[in-house]
């Protein structure tokens, strides 16, 4: 079960040692991309949710406006906050499965065993 080889404990095969891989531009790019994706996602989430909360606090009248005979603007906006949160999650998964994971697999295969 515990086949946890400490990183860097390489032996003979493969092309790159753990140290070489860590220093490689490709790995640094991967780390940078994931960091960027996380930060963009988080910023959009913050704008959406805290924007909504601050709007309620600052101007409840905006959300109390009627958009139908009785329905207020706040109702679709509340639903939209949830939908946007889900869409952000989904976009992250699409990005990670489509472009991040293949790169992870490629780098892993370059590592000495």
Partner 1 sequence: MTLPASQTLLQLALAQAPEAPTTKIGQTNITSIAFFFIIVIVTLIITYWAAKKTKTSSEFYAAGRSVSAFQNGLALSGDYMSAASFLGISGMVALRGYDGMIYATGWLVGWPALMFLIAEPLRNLGKFTFADVVAFRLQQKPVRIAAAVGGITTVLFYTIAQMVGSGQLVKLMFGIPYELAEVIVGAVMLAYVLFGGMLATTWVQIIKAGLLLIGVTLLTVLALGKFDFSPAALYAKVSTSIGQKALEPGGLVTDPLEAVSLGLALMFGLLGLPHILMRFYTVPDAKAARKSVLYATGFIGYFYIIIPIVGFAASVLVTRPLISQIDKGGNMAAPLLAEFLGGDAFLGFIAAVAFATILAVVAGLTLAGASAFSHDIYVHVIKGGHATEQEEVRAAKIGTIIFGIVAVGLGILFKGQNVAFMVGLAFSIAASANFPALLLSIVWKGFSTAGAVASIWVGALLSAVMIIISPTVWVSVLHNAKAIIGLKNPCIISMTVAFAVGWLVSLMTPEKTAQDMFEDEKLRTYLGVGAE
Residue closer to partner 1 (CB basis): 93 or 99: 93
- Least distance (Å) from partner 1 to the CB of residue 33? 10
Q: Is 5 in the site for partner 1 (CB under 8 A)?
A: yes
CA–CA distance, 71 with 78 (Å, rounded to integer): 12
Hey, what's the torsion of the CAs at 48, 52, 58, 63, to 10 degrees?
130
31 within 8 A of 41, measured Cβ to Cβ: no
CA–CA distance, 100 with 26 (Å, rounded to integer): 12
- Least distance (Å) from partner 1 to the CB of residue 79? 6
Q: Is 13 in the site for partner 1 (CB under 8 A)?
A: no
Report CA-CA distances (Å) from 104 to 25, 29, 101: 13, 11, 5
Q: Is 15 in the site for partner 1 (CB under 8 A)?
A: no
Chain residues binding partner 1 by CB under 8 A are 1-2, 4-8, 18, 21-22, 27, 30-31, 34, 37-39, 41-42, 45, 48-50, 52-54, 56-58, 60, 63-64, 68-72, 74-75, 78-79, 81-83, 85-86, 88-90, 92-93, 96-97, 101, 104, 107-108, 111
């Amino acid at each position: 079960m515990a086949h946890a080889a400490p990183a860097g404990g390489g032996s003979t095969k493969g092309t790159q040692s753990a140290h070489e891989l860590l220093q490689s531009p490709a790995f640094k790019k991967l780390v940078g991309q994931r960091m960027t994706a996380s930060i963009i996602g988080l910023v959009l989430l913050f704008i959406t949710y805290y924007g909504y909360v601050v709007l309620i606090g600052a101007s409840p009248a905006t959300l109390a406006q009627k958009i139908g005979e009785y329905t207020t603007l706040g109702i679709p906006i509340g639903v939209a906050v949830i939908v946007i949160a889900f869409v952000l999650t989904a976009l992250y998964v699409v990005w990670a499965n489509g472009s991040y994971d293949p790169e992870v697999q490629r780098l892993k295969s370059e590592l000495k065993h």
